[in-house]
Structure 1
Amino acid sequence: MLKTQVMSMLDYKWPLLDEKGSPSSTDILSKIYAKIYAKTGNLGTNSLFSMSVEPDSKNVTNYIFVIDQVYFGIGRNQLVNATSPQNKPIVEAYKTYIKQSMMAFDSELEDDELKRIVDDVFNLEAELAKSSRSQEERRDSNSMYHMKSIEELQQETPAVNWLNLINSILDIVNITLKADERILVKEPKYCNSAAKLLRSTNRTTVYNYVVWCMLRALAPKVDPTFRELEFAFQRVTKGLKKSEPVWQKCIRALQNAAADALGRLYVDHKFSAEAKDDMNQLVAELRDSFSILLHENQWMDKETKKEAYKKLQSMIPKIAYADWLTNNTYLNNRYKAVGEISVEDSLINILSNFTHNEAVHDLKKIHTFHNRTEEWISGSAVVNAFYDPEANSITFPAGILQSPFYEYGLPSPTNMGAIGMVIGHEITHGFDDSGAQFDDEGNLRDWWSNDTREEFNKKAKCFVEEYGNIKDEQAAMNLNGENTQGENIADNGGLREAFRAHRVAIAKTGAISSPALPGSGAQFDDEGNLRDWWSNDTRDEFNKKAKCFVEEYGNIKDEQAAMNLNGENTQGENIADNGGLREAFRAHRVAIAKTGAISSPVLPGLEKYSSDQLFFMSAALVWCSSSRTEELKQLIQYDPHSPGKYRVNIPMGNFDEFTKAFNCPSTSRMNLRDKCVLW
């Protein structure tokens, strides 16, 4: 069934052995690419160039056409350094996956032919990876802002007919751009290198690679044979012992292809209005908590702090679901391009209809107004939370508003420690190493003074080094303090924010109102525009503090993976984790203070714990997880979040209030000697 439908869609078999009877390079980059996009959207065209319609980072009210580098079938580092002992098992498993997928389409291929085709496809992907930039390099949003006309791109990169390629994609919504249309090219060097590579590569190899990328994304969702092949691959890369149940794969596919429809079903059957109202109050308390942290901040100058307060006040909370989700007329129109489907249809046809609808929905946005209040970054049936820098919004879908993150009616320390810490985490993302590049409106703009930026970088470096120095014993790898910098900052800040709110809830300490922050989210303003709104002095101060997180996490070696954490890659998340914890604690204290109670109601069996201890226990519970060694190594190398246990132990070890709550001696591993603090 799958083989027949793919060949019918492409008009060519797969894989092809030689150039005889193969499509021309022009056809691959127009007709075939367009056919795949029309059926599968970005799901199936993540092979050569990523093409989408997104808000203009420096004018976020306007949607524009965007070209970017792609993601790969395995990690970028594994493709670039394919022969290293650490990467070789994954590379071999990936080649086997490609080989067996080709055999599923053509069982008569000779071994020598098959090996040659597989090697050619892999080598093309590896060369594309070498032309791309790493996650760490892409943390600077300004480095990815290159506006140019299609004509200018054509002159710089003549190996690809860009106007033809772009218009072949837009043809499904009957939109045609002219050569003078200005588009955003995020990675010009990648586009140029990739285009030259395509010109010098056998077109049969290009075709085989493009189709392979579509199949690895689509086939396991709809075909039992490919599900088994994917599972065999994941046994090596993730250490899986048994395959994910088919029903879970179906739900996951629907989350991508029909997120709003699935969200409506979830909200109608599994979500209560009381929870939404309660969350609105919690978000308000966490925002107040961050405002107080900002008021007490000693490393930001007055002007940058004023801009930061403006961004905080302009931050849009999106809780549970959008109002339009319950509007049947809107939803029917939203899925109009799906067309007629029946339970008798094949799964691949149903999924293709929905992914086609998503492609139409996204492409039609070009030249339209981006409403940062109405647009949601996620569906509602998702267990996650988000900060969107180009909307300057924080989103908490209905799916996350359940145990262990939240339960309506539980005592304040329990919810404040869990979902409160997550709220603080997302708020902090607006002021981590990435979010700090965007101003109050969401535009890419530098709003930091040089001095503040320097101070921030010093503090952020602490986190990069702190996490980067951790070696995970299981993985036998150090964490990536650089890649996780933003998340680590958010983890630490979120904890502090939540704790402050928790503390104010216990006993009033005097209300402080003030104008009520940088990393990746702080690159965006209050409306989500990529804009520099930091003074130079404030930016410098921020960077000093952020450096602490990079080093702190980067120095951690995970014993299981036997790898150090990536303090750089996880910097933003680490800042958010630390800040979110502090914000949530402050909000917890505020909430208790409002009730006039020194201690809150306790849960059965937990009577011996203080409200502060319950707060930290709840915060720790949400990151409780266990990973197989193979998966842990992947997480350390590529995930912007630090592994779960470090998202608990490091932010809490950095926080004096935690050590006080549990009377940790100075020699305790949970009482870090050199504490990183940013928010």
Structure 2
Amino acid sequence: MTVKDLQLIAPNTKWVRLLSGVFKQAVHMSDEVMVNNPNYVKQIDSMIKATDNRVLANHMIADVILNSLPLLHPKWLQLHDFYLHRITGRKAVPPRWYICTKSAATLSAAFSALYVRKYFHSESKHKVEEMVNFIHKEFIQMLNSVEWMDETTRLQALDKAKAITSHIGFPKQLLNDSQIAKIYENLQEFSADQYFKNMLKTSKWLTDFSSQSLTQTRLKGDWRNFAETTVVNAYYSAIENAIIFPAGILRGMFFNYNNPNYLNFGAIGTVIAHEITHAFDDIGKQFDKNGNNKNWWAKTTDDMFKNRTLCLINQYNNYVLPDIQRNLNGINTLGENIADNVGVREAFKAYQAYAKLYPKEKMLPGLKYTPEQLFWITYGNVWCSRTRPEVSKMFIDKETHSPARFRESNEFNEY
């Protein structure tokens, strides 16, 4: 919608002045903005009008203070820990090294450059690329066998699947100091004895960098979009039509280039398949192969998709989390549940295809399980976790993923 449209649904906010200040450039009524939830913006706008200015000011100051507590004197840090204990049930206080590491990681490109130069092996990239190829091919075969999809939609789905690109490990620019320095050219110089002020400078730089990027033409494949590589996560970008696996997740329980492939396929392989499947979940299906937000599904096929997802919603709505005796939210978790259910089958079939082409790998000593059994054991191991009741409640209310026990046990029940 345009800024003018936004002004109509939220008339109590002076949007041109606000956005011009945020972006540090002139914004006009005819400019387009993306509003994901217009009703939410409308309600916030009405609430601001109905609330006393002093209350609004106190709320904003309190929010700033609350976010600043981890950066202040230990007595303030204790207050922050007490707050987190009441909200999440957390008892242990993070050690100093962890806080320092989190602070350094806010400069993600520089931090990532240090990490990948020391800890990431090139062999890891080659092996994961091979796994991506096997899993990608298996997903395309699965698309070809979907019985409820009309041929026109199937052809477009295949085009999109074949156009998916992958970014594994880290962009090569992280090995170039001048490229990294250019990112931080507008960051104010730090002082060795001013931790709080340094973090404020970092926060301001991050805000400016993010807001300015919103007004610039987004270049597909821009390495800066993939420069945060220390996170233990993976994701699918609908705009890029790309799957991203940072160096941080290509280690530990998820991956080791020395491991037998039945272990790697059961761990990072299922993650790879999960992310590929996101291209066709309830959100990903709304984008074409070029990352454009458009409906390319025939109505009959779209209706069939919705009917099948309704079954999945009802299935997860019926699951109960034992420690808090609450049902899962099948609507909020739909996209992730689709990716989980399809992805693990996709990865398993890809491993079977791999095993047919390569010599039989050595078994784990002391165990009598077959490679296929170890695939599933590894998959289950990835989701082993313990969660406090307070966190479980927050998980049900806010998370788009199902709790770990249902991401693991449901797949075993279904297969």
Pairwise TM-score range, normalised by the shorter structure: over 0.9
Give the letter aligned to residue 396 of structure 2. Answer: I
Moved more, 422-431 or 295-304: 295-304
Is residue 232 of structure 1 aligned with residue 82 of structure 2?
yes
- Gap runs ≥5 in structure 1: 1-146, 449-534, 656-679
Matches of 1:283 and 1:156 in 2, distance apart? 45
Q: Distance in 2 between matches of 1:542 and 1:284?
A: 26
Normalised by the size of structure 1, how large is the TM-score? 0.59
2:217 to 347, 353, 369: 369
2:208 to 345, 355, 360: 360
Aligned-partner SS, 1:185: coil
State which of 326, 343, 346 in structure 2 corresponds to 1:580.
343
Q: Is 1:401 matched up with 2:401?
A: no
Mapped to 2, the partners of 1:180 and 1:569 lie a distance apart of 34
**Are the counterparts in 2 of residues 565 and 636 from structure 1 also a CA contact under 8 Å?**
yes
Alpha-carbon distance, 1:366 to partner? 4.0
Q: CA deviation at 1:224?
A: 2.5
Amino acid in the other structure paired with 1:157:
A
Aligned ranges 1:515-554 → 2 under 5 Å: 535-554=298-317
Aligned-pair distance for 1:640? 1.0
Partner amino acid, structure 2, of 1:281: E
Runs of 4+ in 1 over 4 A off after TM superposition: none
Verify the 8 A CA contact 2:240 2:291 in the aligned structure 1. Answer: yes
Secondary structure of residue in 2 paired with 1:442: coil
| Counterpart amino acid of residue 333 in structure 2 | T
Q: Distance in 2 between matches of 1:367 and 1:377?
A: 19
Residues 481-536 of structure 1 show CA distances to partners (whole Å, capped at 9, x for unaligned) of: xxxxxxxxxxxxxxxxxxxxxxxxxxxxxxxxxxxxxxxxxxxxxxxxxxxxxx11
3-state SS of the aligned residue for 2:373?
helix
TM-score (norm 2): 0.95
Counterpart of 2:44 in structure 1: which amino acid?
A
Counterpart-to-counterpart distance in 2, 1:349 and 1:424: 43
- Write the distance in 2 (CA, Å) between the matches of 1:328 and 1:388: 27
Residue 17 (structure 1) aligns with? none
Distance 2:119 2:250 in 1: 10
Which residue among 383, 391, 396 is the counterpart of 1:631? 391
Corresponding position of 2:356: 593
Tell me which residue corresponds to 2:16.
Answer: 163
Residues of 2 paired with 1:240 and 1:354: CA distance? 27
Q: Equivalent residue of 1:550, what SS?
A: helix
Residue 209 of structure 1 corresponds to which residue in structure 2?
59
Q: Does 1:603 align with 2:360?
A: no
Alpha-carbon separation, structure 1, partners of 2:9 and 2:88:
41
Question: What is the alpha-carbon distance in structure 1 between the residues aligned to residue 268 and residue 292 of structure 2?
Answer: 28
Map of 1:428 onto structure 2: 277
Letter in 1 for 2:6: L
2:123 aligned residue: 274
- Determine helix, strand or coil for the equivalent of 2:33: strand
Once the two structures are aligned, what percentage of the paired residues are identical? 30
Q: 1:335 to 1:222 in 2, by over 3 A?
A: farther
Instruction: Measure the CA separation in 2 of the matches of 1:223 and 1:432.
Output: 46
- Superposition pairs for residues 474-493 of structure 1, below 5 Å? none
For 1:258, the equivalent position in structure 2 comes to 107
The alignment partner of 1:395 has SS state of strand
Amino acid across the alignment from 2:348: F
Q: Does residue 287 of the first structure (1) align with residue 150 of the second (2)?
A: no
Q: After superposition, what is the alpha-carbon deviation per residue over 1:128-148, rounded to whole angstroms, capped at 9, x for unaligned?
A: xxxxxxxxxxxxxxxxxxx11
1:63 aligned residue: none
- Alpha-carbon contact 1:317-1:395 (below 8 Å) kept: yes
The residue type equivalent to 2:15 in the other structure is W
In 2: Cα distance, 1:152 partner to 1:632 partner: 39
**1:654 matches 2:410:** no
Q: Secondary structure at the match of 1:641?
A: coil
Partner of 1:199: 49
* Secondary structure, aligned partner of 1:568: coil
C-alpha RMSD of the superposition: 1.7
Partners of 2:340 and 2:5 in 1: how far apart? 42
- Give the direction of change, closer, same or farther, for the CA distance of 1:561–1:593 in structure 2 (3 Å limit): same
Q: CA deviation at 1:384?
A: 0.6
Query: Normalized per residue, which structure has more strand?
Result: 1
Q: CA deviation at 1:538?
A: 1.4
Change (3 A) 1:155 1:631: closer
Work out the CA distance in 2 between the residues paired with 1:367 and 1:325: 25
Deviations 1:601-647 (A, max 9, x none): 212222x0101101101111111111112211211222111111111
Cα pair 1:560 1:629 within 8 Å, conserved: yes
Determine helix, strand or coil for the equivalent of 2:409. helix
Cα distance in structure 2, aligned partners of 1:377 and 1:272? 18
Give, as a single letter, the amino acid of the residue that structure 1 aligns with 2:219: N
The residue type equivalent to 2:152 in the other structure is: E
Is the contact between residue 322 and residue 376 of structure 1 (CA under 8 Å) also seen in structure 2?
A: no
Matches of 1:363 and 1:630 in 2, distance apart?
34
Q: Which residue does 1:19 correspond to in 2?
A: none
What's 1:413 paired with? 262
2: distance between equivalents of 1:296 and 1:155?
48
Question: In the aligned structure 2, how far is the partner of 1:295 from the partner of 1:157?
Answer: 46
Whole-angstrom distance in 2 between the partners of 1:330 and 1:378: 11
What is the CA–CA distance in structure 2 between the aligned matches of 1:349 and 1:373, rounded to whole Å?
A: 34
Could you tell me which residue of structure 1 aligns to residue 228 of structure 2? 379
1:152-202: CA deviation from partner (whole Å, max 9, x where unpaired): 43344332211111111122xxx2223332222333333333223222321
Map of 1:561 onto structure 2: 324
Does the C-alpha gap of structure 1 residues 639 and 192 become closer, same or farther in structure 2, counting only changes over 3 Å? Answer: closer
The equivalent residue for 1:243 is: 93
| Cα distance, 1:391 vs structure 2 | 1.6
- CA shift, 1:252, in A, is 2.8
Instruction: Give unpaired runs (5+ residues) of structure 2.
Output: none
Q: Which amino acid aligns with 1:270?
A: Y
Tell me the equivalent position of 1:220: 70
Q: Give the 3-state SS of the residue equivalent to 1:317 in structure 2.
A: strand
Distance across 1 between alignment mates of 2:375 and 2:123? 22
Q: How does 1:656-675 map to 2 (within 5 A)?
A: none
How far apart, CA to CA, are the structure 2 residues paired with 1:562 and 1:245?
33
How far apart are the structure 1 equivalents of 2:8 and 2:338?
42
Residue 241 to residue 365, structure 1, CA distance change in 2 (3 Å): closer
Give 1:367 shift.
Answer: 4.1
Distance in 1 of aligned mates of 2:405 and 2:63: 34
Distance in 2 (CA, whole Å) between partners of 1:250 and 1:195 is 38
Task: Give 3-state SS (helix, strand or coil) of 1:603's partner.
Answer: coil
- Give, in angstroms, the shift of residue 237 of structure 1: 2.3
Q: Distance in 2 between matches of 1:569 and 1:366?
A: 27
Residue 223 (structure 1) shift:
4.1
Which AA in structure 2 matches 1:359? T
* Residue correspondences, number: 414
Contact 2:170 2:226 in 1 (8 A): no
Q: Contact (CA 8 Å) 2:23, 2:215: kept in 1 or not?
A: no
CA distance in 2, matches of 1:628, 1:155: 44
How far apart, in 2, do the equivalents of 1:579 and 1:253 lie? 37
Report the Cα offset of residue 336 of structure 1: 1.1
8 Å Cα contact 1:438-1:444 kept in structure 2 = yes
* Alpha-carbon distance between aligned partners in 2 of 1:184 and 1:649, rounded to the nearest angstrom: 38
CA distance in 2, matches of 1:219, 1:387: 33
What is the distance in 2 between the residues matched to 1:341 and 1:208?
30
More helix by percentage: 2
Q: CA deviation at 1:377?
A: 5.5
